[in-house]
Chain A
């Protein structure tokens, strides 16, 4: 493999000594001429992806470096080039653009911070429930939990607008228990501010209002998601957990029954079985679900577009929607494109961070686990240990496989 890599470029370079390429070719043997054929076969996809994905992305990158006003082509010499100004202005220049951008980042941080853990936990819980062999009508429940995911997000958003209306189902329900529900989509107060207000902190301490990063006061950073944002969060958790449930379910069905039986023989409780057998087996799926969740929730757009358009008081503004609005409503195409590339960067960095956090550790907790299982073994049959380590093996190889595939 390694020599192959080294020899590859040499083969293409005409200046290289003549024998070397011939030797490489000979070493590749009967499969040596497959590359052109391969390129031929993938050419349609390469062209389509290049034309409809790579090229537009590069064009948008170019636009983000200009002050294009939307008249005519952005690739003429008359379009002023501003370098990285569109990017730096979003962080350093005191103005509306930075204020909007930072507000949208704050909103989305709270949004992601709530949606991703909740939807993952809910999806896992639902998957465990419908994976239960004792459950009657499993097929029905699987379909029912998955149903929100296959419905159009716009349709669901509109339904939620009715449910969360001031005299809608949610508030009626709250009224039955004697609560006075909020005006969901008109309420711009942050949840944390409301909680603080409940314990008597109505006025922010001066230390929090005087300054904060990027021109937004700490008090505003710490507002929490607004009431309106909370209803969107509920909606999104409800719709997406079905999809992720399906992924967990698929992974759960690959957990060998023998393993569970073995751990049962070991005397593991239900909780221990979940914690030390099932969850480690699900690790690659967990990674997948978390990554997809983070990516999807940083890109939230349709719900915002349909339900709130950033209102009330910009508390449901998200970078994806802001980017759209800046470009196509305010005709600031450069700034809009810059926002979308910053969003892209955020997502990439977070995904890399997640990979690092959820990586398979070769050293670390495993010896401890082994020690514990050795202690367990004191009273159990030897086969359990074999099953256990076999499970770990299986988990690791599956993780590697998933990694390669993605």
Chain B
């Protein structure tokens, strides 16, 4: 009895599966052709990875005013998890027309042809900061317009600073000064620095020493170099000497929280820390300074998103118009006021520094900033690098860099 049932169930299952799968995938067999374009009023779908309520509202308002002025409609959806939702939409062949693309993820999307390379055709293409253009350029094509950007800078807690008997003259501008100042703070029983345990913070030291994980064009692995080794050894010495702590070691989710609680006198974070401190720790007094320069000069890291347009969008022309409206100087300034990002265009720089004089250190960083690694399939490699950085105080920097080098080569070669 059981055997017969099993046999019949199998037959039925196979039949049903064949039927269903042919039905389900029937639409998938002929998707090779260029997506036909529709002119006229468009219904744009816009997927954003919002930093919070303020950003969502600002983008929705901007999109609504563009839509009513141009006779289109634009629906802004804040994503719960942008990478996953976008991945599913691309796999399902129904991507949103316009979406945020993180610079660290850009190469993943560009290399599989999900993005429309439109940015070179923009009238203001030359006005973006060069480091941001590089972040969204692949194989010589400038794909998408940078939305805004952030850079890292050094935040100093002025109360802890003066309590430890330090003055403005002690604010470090080089690695040596930094070590000296940190030792003074430690002698007074203050944790000098709290720094995020990721390449997005520690990487700044590598750049300050003239190194980086990949070559500028993202084609070669350059992790295992003496410059990088020296940088990691310096960070390791800060950690082992107790001059720097990771956020988890001082019981905080991220460095900004630790800084806000007064667990450390200094931290290295981007301009998002402004809003976070204002909301959660409004009483913390602090100043912002450029990161101390390394042996090879000043350097910082920049983080940015661009307005990606899907290669499979039906409304590419209208989408480009939308992006043009979003990157105008006025619009970028209103975004800056709404949720504290820095405009991606040099034309907006003066306006921005006038409106936010305290952010000079952040926006000056644009001159010497390094964007995220611009190569596909690097996310797991970099996550593995982060793992090594988390254990840097006990680990061997040389072995770590060799591992990153090997994995990067495998990712870039494959």
Contact = CB atoms under 8 A, between A and B. Distances in A.
A47 interface: yes
A328 B410 contact: no
A71 B24 contact: no
Given A313-B391, A328-B87, A165 B251 contact: yes
Interface in B355-394: 377, 379-381, 384, 387-388, 390-391
Chain B: interface secondary structure?
helix
Contact of A73 (B31, B87, B112): B31
A75 B32 CA distance: 12
Given A55-B17, A186-B246, A71 B114 contact: yes
Interface residues of A, number: 48
A51 B20 contact: yes
B16 to A, nearest CB: 4
Contacts of A1: 1
B260 to A, nearest CB: 16
Contact of A75 (B29, B108, B113): B29
A311 interface: yes
Nearest to A49: B13
B16 A50 contact: yes
B100 to A, nearest CB: 16
A74 B31 CA distance: 11
A131 interface: no
Contact of B380 (A8, A9, A100, A328): A100
Contact of B29 (A5, A55, A59, A76): A76
Interface string B13-32: 10011001100110111011
A72 interface: yes
B3 interface: yes
Contacts of B31: 72-73, 76
A314 B377 contact: no
B4 A329 contact: no
A4 to B, nearest CB: 7
Interface in A278-294: none
B93 A4 contact: no
A400 interface: no
Given A5-B1, A328-B83, A69 B17 contact: no
B13 A50 contact: yes
Contacts of A311: 387, 390
B54 interface: no
B69 interface: no
B338 interface: no
B28 A73 contact: yes
Contacts of A354: none
Interface string A251-285: 00000000000000000000000000000000000
B279 interface: no
Given A8-B4, A76-B29, A96-B410, A313 B379 contact: no
A312 B16 contact: no
Contacts of A117: none
B380 A96 contact: yes
Interface in B96-133: 108, 112-114
A331 interface: yes
A72 B93 contact: yes
Given A50-B13, A54-B17, A328-B87, A71 B28 contact: no
Interface in B53-104: 83-84, 87-88, 90-91, 93
Interface in A46-70: 46-47, 50-51, 54-55, 58-59, 69-70
A51 B411 CA distance: 36
Given A188-B390, A314-B387, A329-B83, A71 B90 contact: yes
- Give the residue among A1, A5, A78, A332 with the most B Cβ atoms within 10 A: A5
A231 interface: no
Interface in A92-117: 95-97, 99-100
Interface string B230-257: 0000000000000000101111000000
Nearest to A73: B28
A185 interface: yes
Interface in A178-210: 183, 185-186, 188
Contacts of B83: 328-329
A331 B87 contact: yes
B381 A312 contact: no
A13 to B, nearest CB: 13
Nearest to B251: A166
Interface in A314-343: 314, 325-326, 328-333
- Give the residue among B13, B90, B387, B411 with the most A Cβ atoms within 10 A: B387
A75 B391 CA distance: 42
B28 A72 contact: yes
B276 interface: no
Contact of A70 (B87, B248, B249, B390): B87
Contacts of A389: none
Contacts of A50: 13, 16-17, 20
B407 interface: yes
Nearest to A165: B251
A167 interface: yes
A55 to B, nearest CB: 5
A75 B25 contact: yes
A183 B249 contact: yes
Interface string A158-178: 000000011100000000000
Contacts of A77: 29
B12 interface: yes
B16 A47 contact: yes
Nearest to A57: B17
30 contacts: A5-B3, A9-B4, A9-B7, A50-B17, A51-B20, A71-B91, A71-B113, A72-B31, A72-B90, A75-B25, A75-B28, A75-B29, A78-B32, A96-B411, A166-B251, A167-B251, A183-B248, A183-B249, A186-B248, A186-B249, A188-B390, A188-B391, A313-B388, A313-B391, A328-B83, A330-B379, A331-B108, A331-B112, A331-B377, A332-B377
Interface of B: 1, 3-4, 7, 12-13, 16-17, 20-21, 24-25, 27-29, 31-32, 83-84, 87-88, 90-91, 93, 108, 112-114, 246, 248-251, 377, 379-381, 384, 387-388, 390-391, 407, 410-411
Q: Across chains A and B, which 3 residue pairs bring their CB atoms closest together, nearest first?
A: A73-B28, A186-B248, A166-B251
Given A100-B380, A312-B387, A332-B377, 13 more contacts: A5-B4, A58-B21, A72-B28, A72-B31, A73-B25, A75-B28, A78-B32, A96-B384, A166-B249, A166-B250, A166-B251, A331-B112, A332-B380
